[in-house]
Amino acid sequence: MQVTTEARKIVVHAAGGYDKLRVEAASVPAPGRGQVRIDVKACGVNYADTTVRMGLYASAKEYVGWPITPGFEIAGTVGAVGEGVSDLAVGTPVFAVTRFGGYASHVVVDRPYVFRKPASLTFEQAAALPAVYMTAWYALFELAHPRRGAKVLVHSAAGGVGSALVQMAKRAGTEVTGVVGRAAKVGVVKALGADHVIDKSTVDLWREAESIAPQGFDLILDANGVSTLGASYKHLRRPGKLVIYGFASMLPKTGGKPNWPKLALDYVRTPRFNPLDLTNESKSVLAFNLSYLFDRVELLQEAIGEILTWLERGEITAPQVTTYPLGDVARAHADIESGKTTGKLVLVP
Ligand SMILES: NC(=O)c1ccc[n+]([C@@H]2O[C@H](COP(=O)([O-])OP(=O)(O)OC[C@H]3O[C@@H](n4cnc5c(N)ncnc54)[C@H](OP(=O)(O)O)[C@@H]3O)[C@@H](O)[C@H]2O)c1
User: Hey, which bits of the chain come out as E strands?
Assistant: 7-11, 22-26, 35-45, 73-81, 93-97, 106-110, 114-116, 151-154, 175-180, 196-199, 217-222, 236-244, 284-287, 321-325, 344-348
pLDDT digits 0-9 by tens, 235-251: 999 999 999 999 999 99
Q: Which of 53, 137, 156 to mutate to test the pocket of ligand 1 (most atoms within 8 A of CB)?
A: 156
Backbone Cα Rg of the chain: 20
35 C-alpha vs ligand 1 centroid, how far in Å? 32
pLDDT at 1 over 60: no
For residue 238 and ligand 1, the question of a CB distance below 6 A is answered with no
Instruction: Report angle CA 304, 344, 44 to the nearest 5 degrees.
Output: 65
Q: CB of 93 closer than 6 A to ligand 1?
A: no
Å from CA of 73 to ligand 1 middle: 17
Which amino acid makes up residue 49? Answer: D
243 lines ligand 1 (CB under 6 A): no
pTM for this predicted structure: 0.97
Kind of pairing, strands 196-199 and 217-222? unpaired
Encode pLDDT of 298-341 as tens digits.
999 999 999 999 999 999 999 999 999 999 999 999 999 999 99
Our answer on whether the CB atom of 240 is closer than 6 Å to any ligand 1 atom is no
Ligand 1 midpoint to CA 156 (Å): 7
What confidence tens digit (pLDDT) does each residue in 26-45 have?
999 999 999 999 999 999 99
